[in-house]
């Protein structure tokens, strides 16, 4: 998830306007920053790794000449956060520059094809193929207009993109296009702007045109022309007046970042399905060879590891040991050795306890694999192989979209390994792959249909002194995560454990009205879980069940139920069942008068920096 912005001004220099807009977009990514502008038949570029202020203090981002320009603030997905990988990217003859937000899935194939045609690539990014493709189109068909050359290029892209290109050939235009990444146009009497988000231009204009998927827009001082990428038909769309305050705009109209991030999950899950296959294969190869595998993490990332241990076991028949990172050195520090493999999972890639475990493992010659959201973080530097989860920055302290993204990546890894080991049939593989593909839609359906119900449950229980969260099998991890969310943002003391444990002690806490949340997928644990629900009900507990649609048996037992679509395979079920629990924690915090984005005593990550 990156931020893009550009403008064409009637007067004055575009660069300071771009710089200020990128500052407003910095929440979308902050690995590197860059700008390109055109002036007097020349293309000027400034870019480097680092936060905008750092880069500006060295390069002065304001002194590029020209009334037209584009800019980018990056959240690395392909290629480390280095100067060479910072956007904008240029073609071989340095006639054009492109900025891009999204992921080009087929970039390796396109890059190879273009290299065979003599194109020289400078970066390791997926983005650079776009500008070389446009260059190639113009080379093979010089009569093409700049906009048509862009149009033909993007027809060849698989994946997601919002792009903007400037060219010396038509120096008064910016050509933009969108597919599954946001793009908006802003206009006033002195300028025209494009951006990945409205906040970028909100102080400059409140007149915006929202661009839809599959559209290409050509901007000039005369205005804008929107075309359908599919058939070049022209689309007429009027600007809208945006009445958001700047604060609302950054949150895209949501009252809190946490809610925005919960709602972003369909899109972040889609991004996890665009991982480069060879990284997953490499991970699977290391896991296959390992004598023992530890899955090490803290907090929410630990819950992803716990769920992953069920995925690896059930799909690939691989035993793994999920370990809370702060205990790893004490528990396994002496036994870990050259035959051990440590998979460290950390959204930030900087959590001190996770890195301490990794250090200990490395000193004892173990193999370290990493899964993180931050390419360029310490974890990526110390891992033998790492995979990026591609969720974009998470601003709410409570991890939501990064959790479901970790689960999706781990499930894909388990599937790879299962395939490598011949442990699943082709039919089962296809079935799971299809269900994975549908997850964004499924999660969207849950958010859209269940939010109101969850709100009512939160209202009902807002004064509860404590909560239980119970699940069996892989849903134990979901229950733990639901409990962590509720505790950390709504400050409700809560307990979670595998439902089978309740009769070994915790049940003594239950008294009439005590809220107990059950995570109830219709998997092999369903029958036994019903027994656990009855036990709690017999003691007067108020049962809140997250069930599959149409699960009449549990509906009849539950005081309140929240439904998720039917037919999600067991190994993927935490991805869907956790969503109502995220919403429950969010609305409990709101009902109790707390700000979900800034829980007391917690910061986004414990870093070693
Ligand atoms: C969860 O909502 C918290 N933000 C916290 O538990 C977090 O998951 C933990 O600190 C680990 O962070 P990491 O994934 O960045 O390593």
β-strands 215-220, 184-188 pairing: unpaired
**pLDDT at res. 609:** 26
Nearest CA to ligand 1 atom 16: 346
Residue 528, φ and ψ in degrees, nearest 5: -65, -35
Burial 267-277 (b: 16+ CB within 10 A, else e): bbbbbbbbbbe
Give the whole-number percent of the chain exceeding pLDDT 90.
Answer: 82
- Cβ atoms of 190 and 201 within 8 Å: the answer is no
Q: What is the pLDDT of residue 377?
A: 86
Close Cβ partners of 360 (under 8 Å, ≥ 6 residues apart)? 328, 329, 333, 336
User: Residues 521-527: what's their mean pLDDT?
Assistant: 94
Q: What is the pLDDT of residue 28?
A: 67
CB of 163 closer than 8 Å to CB of 103: no
Of all residues in the chain, what percent carry a pLDDT higher than 70?
98
Pocket test for ligand 1, best of 382, 399, 604 (most atoms within 8 A of CB): 399
- Probe residue for ligand 1, chosen from 257, 258, 297, 300 as the CB with the greatest number of ligand atoms within 8 Å: 300
The confidence score (pLDDT) of residue 603 equals 58
Residue 167 CB less than 6 A away from ligand 1: no
Q: Would you place residue 24 in the very low, low, confident or very high pLDDT band (cuts 50, 70, 90)?
A: confident
Both tokens assigned to 529: 């879980």
* CA-proximal residue: ligand 1, atom 5 (nearest): 299
Q: Is 2 a catalytic residue?
A: yes
In contact, 528 and 472? CB cutoff 8 Å: yes
List pLDDT tens digits, range 272-326: 998 878 899 999 999 999 999 999 999 999 999 999 999 999 999 999 999 999 9
Mean pLDDT of 19-41: 88
Distance CA(394)–CA(327), nearest Å, equals 26
Q: Looking at ligand 1, which atom is closest to the CA of residue 398? A: 2
The answer to whether 329 touches 358, Cβ cutoff 8 Å, is: no
Higher pLDDT, 596 or 503: 596
Q: Considering the chain, what is the average pLDDT of its residues?
A: 93
Q: Enter the tokens of residue 441.
A: 């839609």
Active-site option among 2, 176, 360, 520 = 2
H-assigned helices in 290-423: 299-316, 325-332, 352-363, 378-382, 401-420
CA distance 512 to 41: 78
For residue 600, is pLDDT > 60? yes
State mean pLDDT over 577-599: 95
Query: In this structure, are residues 13 and 31 in contact, taking their beta carbons and an 8 Å threshold?
Result: no
Is 80 exceeded by the pLDDT of residue 607? no
Averaged pLDDT, 60-84: 87
Give the pLDDT confidence score for residue 596 in this predicted structure.
93
Altogether, the residues listed in the chain come to a count of 609
Q: Which of 211-215, 238-242, 318-322 has the lowest mean pLDDT?
A: 238-242
pLDDT of residue 270: 94
CA dist 232 and 223 (Å) reads: 18
- If one residue of 298, 378, 484 were mutated to test the ligand 1 pocket, choosing by the most ligand atoms within 8 A of its CB, it would be 298
604 catalytic? Reply is yes
Which positions ≥6 away from 591 have C-beta within 8 Å? 458, 459, 462
Q: At 106, is the secondary structure helix, strand, or coil?
A: coil
CA proximity to 410, closest of 381, 442, 370, 380: 370
| pLDDT category of residue 29 using cuts at 50, 70 and 90 | low
Q: How far apart are CA 315 and CA 418, in angstroms?
A: 6
Is 293 in a helix, a strand, or coil?
strand
Give 207-254 as a 3 state SS string. Answer: EEEECCCCEEEEEECCEEEEEECCCCCEECCCCEECCCCHHHHHCCCC
pLDDT per residue as tens digits for the range 427-460: 999 999 999 999 999 999 999 999 999 999 999 9
In contact, 290 and 341? CB cutoff 8 Å: yes
Peptide bond before 59: cis, by omega within 30 degrees of 0?
A: no
pLDDT at residue number 604: 58
Instruction: Name the phi and psi angles at 605, rounded to 5.
Output: -150, 155
Per-residue pLDDT of 552-565, as tens digits, reads 999 999 999 999 99
pLDDT tier at 507, thresholds 50, 70, 90: confident
pTM of the model: 0.82
Select which of 207, 420, 453, 604 is catalytic. Answer: 604
The phi, psi pair for 367, rounded to 5°, reads: -90, 130
Is a pLDDT exceeding 70 seen at residue 606?
no
Question: pLDDT for 95-126, tens place per residue?
Answer: 999 999 998 999 999 999 999 999 999 998 99
Largest pairwise CA distance in the chain: 81
Q: How far apart are CA 305 and CA 122, in angstroms?
A: 37
Between 608 and 220, the more confident residue is 220
Flag whether pLDDT at 593 surpasses 60.
yes
Per-residue pLDDT reduced to its tens digit, 367-421: 999 999 988 788 999 999 999 998 888 888 899 999 999 999 999 999 999 999 9
Per DSSP, 236 falls in state -
Q: What is the mean pLDDT of residues 577-590?
A: 98
Q: What is the mean pLDDT of residues 28-56?
A: 91
Mean pLDDT of 160-167: 96
Q: At CA 7, angle to CA 35 and CA 97, rounded to 5?
A: 40
Q: What is the pLDDT of residue 608?
A: 28
pLDDT, mean of residues 7-14: 97
The model's pLDDT over 460-484, given as tens digits with 9 standing for 90+, comes to 999 999 999 999 999 999 999 999 9
pLDDT of residue 463: 96
Distances (CA, A) of 581 to 442, 469, 519: 15, 10, 9
| 3-state class (DSSP) for residue 89 | strand
């Amino acid at each position: 998830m990156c931020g893009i912005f550009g403008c064409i001004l009637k007067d004055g220099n575009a660069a300071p306007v771009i710089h200020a807009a990128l500052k407003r977009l910095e929440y979308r990514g902050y690995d590197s920053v860059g700008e390109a502008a055109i002036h007097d038949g020349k293309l000027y570029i400034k870019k480097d790794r680092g936060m905008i202020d750092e880069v500006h203090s060295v390069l002065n981002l304001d002194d590029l000449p020209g009334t037209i320009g584009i800019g980018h603030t990056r959240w690395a997905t392909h290629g480390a956060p280095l100067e060479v990988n910072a956007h904008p990217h240029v073609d071989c003859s340095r006639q054009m520059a492109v900025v891009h937000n999204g992921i080009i899935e087929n970039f390796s194939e396109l890059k190879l094809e273009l290299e065979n045609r003599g194109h020289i690539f400078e970066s390791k990014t997926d983005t650079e193929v776009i500008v070389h493709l446009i260059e190639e189109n113009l080379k093979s068909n010089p009569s093409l207009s700049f906009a048509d050359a862009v149009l033909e290029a993007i027809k060849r892209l698989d994946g997601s993109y919002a792009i903007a290109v400037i060219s010396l050939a038509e120096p008064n235009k910016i050509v933009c296009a969108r597919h599954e990444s946001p793009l908006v146009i802003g206009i006033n009497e002195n300028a025209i702007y494009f951006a990945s988000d409205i906040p970028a231009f909100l102080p400059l204009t409140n007149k915006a045109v929202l661009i839809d998927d599959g559209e290409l827009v050509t901007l000039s001082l005369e205005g804008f022309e929107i075309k359908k990428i599919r058939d070049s038909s022209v689309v007429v769309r009027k600007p809208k007046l945006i009445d958001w305050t700047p604060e609302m705009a950054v949150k895209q109209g949501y009252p809190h970042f946490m809610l925005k991030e919960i709602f972003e999950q369909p899109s972040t899950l889609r991004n996890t399905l665009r991982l480069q296959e060879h990284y997953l294969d490499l991970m699977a190869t290391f896991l296959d060879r390992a004598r023992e595998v530890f899955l090490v993490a803290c907090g929410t990332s630990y819950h992803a590891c716990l769920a992953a241990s069920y995925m690896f076991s059930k799909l690939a028949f691989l035993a793994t040991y999920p370990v809370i990172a702060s205990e790893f050195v004490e528990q396994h520090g002496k036994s870990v050795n050259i035959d051990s493999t440590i998979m460290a999972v950390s959204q930030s890639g900087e959590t001190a306890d996770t890195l301490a475990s990794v250090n200990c493992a490395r000193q004892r010659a173990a193999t370290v694999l990493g899964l993180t959201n931050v390419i360029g973080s310490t974890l990526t530097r110390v891992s033998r192989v790492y995979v990026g989860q591609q969720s974009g920055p998470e601003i709410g302290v409570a991890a939501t979209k990064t959790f479901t993204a970790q689960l999706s990546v781990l499930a894909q890894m388990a599937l790879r390994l299962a395939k490598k080991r011949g442990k699943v049939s082709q039919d089962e593989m296809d079935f799971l792959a299809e269900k994975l593909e549908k997850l964004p839609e499924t999660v969207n359906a849950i958010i859209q249909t269940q939010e109101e119900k969850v709100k009512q449950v939160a209202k009902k229980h807002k004064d509860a002194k404590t909560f239980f969260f119970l699940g069996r099998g892989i849903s134990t991890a979901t229950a733990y995560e639901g409990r962590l969310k509720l505790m950390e943002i709504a400050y409700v003391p809560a307990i979670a454990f595998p439902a089978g444990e309740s009769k070994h002690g915790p049940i003594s806490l239950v008294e009439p009205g005590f809220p107990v949340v059950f995570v109830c997928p219709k998997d092999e644990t369903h029958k036994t879980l019903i027994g656990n629900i009855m036990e709690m009900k017999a003691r007067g507990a108020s049962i809140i069940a997250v069930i599959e649609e149409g699960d009449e048996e549990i509906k009849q037992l539950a005081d309140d139920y929240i439904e998720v679509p039917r037919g999600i395979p067991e190994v993927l079920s935490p991805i869907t069942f956790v969503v109502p629990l995220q919403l429950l924690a969010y609305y409990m915090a709101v009902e109790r008068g707390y700000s979900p984005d800034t829980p007391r005593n917690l910061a986004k990550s414990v870093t070693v920096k």
